[in-house]
Chain A
Amino acid sequence: MLNSKIPPVPLAEQWHTYQETTRLISPANKRHLEIIVIGTGLAGASAAATLAEQGYQIKAFCFQDSPRRAHSIAAQGGINAAKNYQNDGDSIQRLFFDTIKGGDYRSREANVYRLATISSKIIDHCVAQGVPFAREYGGMLSNRSFGGTQVQRTFYAAGQTGQQLLLGAYQALERQIAMGNITMYPRHEMLEIVQIDGAARGIIARNLISGELERHAAHAVLLCSGGYSNVFYLSTNAMGSNVSATWKAHKQGALFANPCFTQIHPTCIPVAGEYQSKLTLMSESLRNDGRVWVPKTLGDQRPANSIPPAARDYFLERRYPAYGNLVPRDIASRAVKEICDAGYGVGNSQRAVYLDYADALQKHGREFLTNKYGNLFAMYTQITGEDPYEVPMRIYPAVHYTMGGLWVDYELMTTISGLYCLGEANFSDHGANRLGASALMQGLADGYFVIPATISNYLSKYIGSSSAITDHPAFAEAESIVADRLDRLIQIQGSQTVTSFHQRLGKIMWAHCGIVRDRHGLQAAIQELQALQAEFWQDVKIPGTVQSLNPELDNAQRVADFLELGELMCVDALQRQESCGCHFRSEFQTDQGEAQRQDAEYAHVAAWEYQQEHQWQCHPEALTFELAKFSQRSYK
């Protein structure tokens, strides 16, 4: 059933071959073709700007008040590229291998190879846009290393790389708005896809200020709406980040791939209390110079600085001597959870470990740390009231990124014709675990380089066809579905707030579909989630009206989608009877407690088709490996 449309030539020639043979569209014809872009993060803004530069007419939508506020802005650490500026042996092949290995052999080779191929051009383009990457004194671009690699290939702008890259894409987008090639719809939320004759031809969007529903037509629709970490309620995502755009597409027929692959980031600020609304990430780059430890003795209550080195357990360095504190995220997260489960955790909650800069401070001095991590240290002090120059940071894992997403083929098209999915919202490049500094790379690769090359292959059939089709009955039908759903929500007038449901959802997901999963827990979670969905639709309380600005209503419809997604995540995690990357099933581990893949049965992408409430069918896409050979990950 699934055709991933990978060019039938050797891996290293695929992208070149594709570009040479794909259908093109002349500039005169492009002017009459319209594309809708949902989301203006790295993927959406870069796609909208580049497609507009090519001559297409773009309508871009975001729920924030400005496209510049999309959550890509918060990415801290950096962006990978196989430039080999450090002359340390890097190459396209090495970036490819690291990404495949980091993803634990659950990503599609063709897409990953293309990503590694494109990576260098992204850096060049961003520099040309004026992105102020960090530089050496000689004026050359600076690199840092990140978890899961042995080369220095990460480009960065202090701890604000995502901000600087997004502002580059945002400025390119604003330039195209000024030129009349993009119409921007901020404070709008897409609530339904409109299909005509089996192809995506538009959307129903809600104007979040007036509450009105709007019909927008186009020749193709791009979903660049980011990830779904907020299904856990507490995550490092922005408060508004949601799954609704891709979930609506899923319920209309787009397959959802590997939904249970969610990345837990090891270095976040621990939860302080029940009122906590979100978690804050401390960039993984911090592990370059910080050392992770807990007291060696159970119940050692001394302040961190009073515990002598001999009484400390530097457990990552002990367990993984080759990579030490730079082991991949999933391994670090699990090690932290295990040591806290065993009772060695620190701080009031006992759910934290130390990340210590005393050695780096002694070796390199305060200025060195300030230059590299100044803003991160300041952020930590602001949130916790503690100074990391004086006392070790306390960190604990938190949900950070979702590798799963809508299934797409090599052209980034979903299983709905004319509906594309880019960036974190799709599933394609990171397998079961994403390496640090690869999200920015993928978002921008998809938007700046992949979609502009692939979309003409599809749109060429629409040359000469109008997009003035909002009178079509399919639009009226989609609009009435959305209106009915909003009316239904507001009329419930129950007794519990949207947030209280979201918190309960998050607790179920974190307990059973978090760092460690097992059959029993997942089965229980599915039951609990079905009951919670029913309770939500009977007892949620939403103030205000549909026909007005109503953030609680916006949130309610997002949480309704999260409740359903959570169930599918557990279904997927239950079905995948192996451990791989971030997905750790306690039934499947080696004697040393490492993840044990079951390649014979599960070397596939699990792409789920929505059938009816609580019912999905899995369509596996087998993964074959031409260059990469299966191996047990070992970071010892």
Chain B
Amino acid sequence: MIQLTLKIWRQSTAQAAGKFVTYPLTDLSPDMSFLEMIDHLNQRLILAGEEPVAFDHDCREGICGSCAMYINGRPHGADQGSTTCQLYLRSYKNGDTITIEPWRSNAFPVIKDLMVDRSAFDRIIQAGGYISVNTGNAVDGNSLPIAKAQSDEAFASAMCIGCGACVAACKNSSAMLFVAAKVSHLALLPQGQPERKQRAVKMVMQMDKEGFGSCSNTGSCAAVCPKEISLQTISQLNREYWHQ
């Protein structure tokens, strides 16, 4: 059993001023997940008549992209290639203090406590993050061979879960890695070619419109990406953008 002290950002509404509140926790199992620790705290708060901590979470296996906590100054905590829900308390030492904040970006306004509005990402996809093919038009799946290396590279970019850690880590709040992952995924496939040139421009324009900052290539996004999307996708995006 271990003890931890949590300093959690509490903010009742989007407009309200927020502040850190400290919660000491005892009797935690090292095999408990990070979110199970927050559950545990919330059960205690509810029984004490207090408001539980609001946070987004769903699949708890690192794939839905819902969970989004800024833990000790790093999105999703210190583990490499991991989401918040995949963190376990065995990563912490007895007596540690953990500071938990929401994603901070103008384009991701806080809704409550640790919950933010990431709908800007959906609007970026709406701007062109797809291949325009209606159901019923497709030719046989094997009619276009795609080299395994090419397909694997497209897949590596397509693994993005849209959590927003890249934005949260970036000092400019840039969404370049998110946009680059989708642009690369589709640009690497033969099916993505017809819309390839306009796609990059439209998605970048929407990114700017949403209030995300510019990329200054520090690479903090790729360093914290839970799916380890490569910084090379940003080079790919820049090539796509300039060649149009």
Which residues of A are in contact with B by a Cβ distance under 8 Å?
A: 46, 49-50, 53, 64-71, 73-74, 83, 85, 121, 123-130, 132-141, 157-158, 160, 163-164, 167, 170-172, 174-175, 177-178, 184, 186, 209, 238-240, 272-273, 275-278, 280-281, 378-379, 382-383, 385, 448-449, 452, 495, 497, 499-500, 541-544, 549, 551-552
Contact = CB atoms under 8 A, between A and B. Distances in A.
A139 B61 contact: no
Nearest to B202: A178
Interface of B: 29, 31-33, 35-36, 39-40, 43, 45-47, 49-52, 54, 56-66, 79, 81-82, 86, 88, 90, 111-112, 115, 117-119, 121-122, 125-127, 129-142, 144-148, 151-152, 154-155, 158-159, 161-162, 185-186, 189, 191-192
Given A124-B141, A497-B43, A130 B192 contact: yes
A85 B119 contact: no
A275 B133 contact: no
A210 to B, nearest CB: 10
Q: Which 7 A-B pairs have the closest CB atoms?
A: A139-B145, A171-B130, A124-B138, A128-B138, A132-B155, A178-B126, A127-B141
Given A65-B117, A71-B58, A239-B58, A543 B29 contact: no
A65 B127 contact: no
B100 to A, nearest CB: 17
A127 to B, nearest CB: 4
A424 to B, nearest CB: 15
A610 to B, nearest CB: 29
Given A385-B90, A542-B46, 20 more contacts: A49-B135, A64-B58, A71-B64, A74-B59, A74-B64, A85-B142, A124-B139, A129-B133, A130-B189, A133-B151, A141-B141, A163-B63, A238-B58, A238-B60, A275-B29, A275-B39, A382-B88, A385-B31, A499-B43, A552-B52
A158 B227 CA distance: 13
A12 B141 CA distance: 23
Given A175-B132, A497-B47, A541-B46, A167 B158 contact: yes
B51 A69 contact: no
Contacts of A385: 31, 88, 90
Contacts of A544: 51
A593 B66 CA distance: 43
Contacts of B158: 130, 132, 157, 164, 167
A64 B68 CA distance: 13
Nearest to A186: B119
A280 B36 CA distance: 14
Residue of B79, B132, B136 contacting most chain A CB atoms (<10 Å): B136
A502 to B, nearest CB: 11
Contact of A128 (B79, B118, B139): B139
Given A65-B56, A139-B146, A130 B131 contact: yes
Contacts of A136: 148
Residue of A126, A157, A378, A551 contacting most chain B CB atoms (<10 Å): A551
A581 B111 CA distance: 46
Contact of A74 (B43, B63, B86, B189): B63
Contacts of B185: 130, 132
Contact of B86 (A158, A163, A382): A382
Contacts of A127: 138, 141, 144, 191
A154 to B, nearest CB: 13
A277 B135 contact: no
Contact of A275 (B32, B47, B56, B154): B32
Contacts of B121: 66
Contacts of A46: 135
A459 to B, nearest CB: 18
Contacts of B79: 382
B50 A543 contact: yes
Contacts of A497: 43, 46-47
A132 B189 contact: yes
Contacts of A452: 135
B51 A543 contact: yes
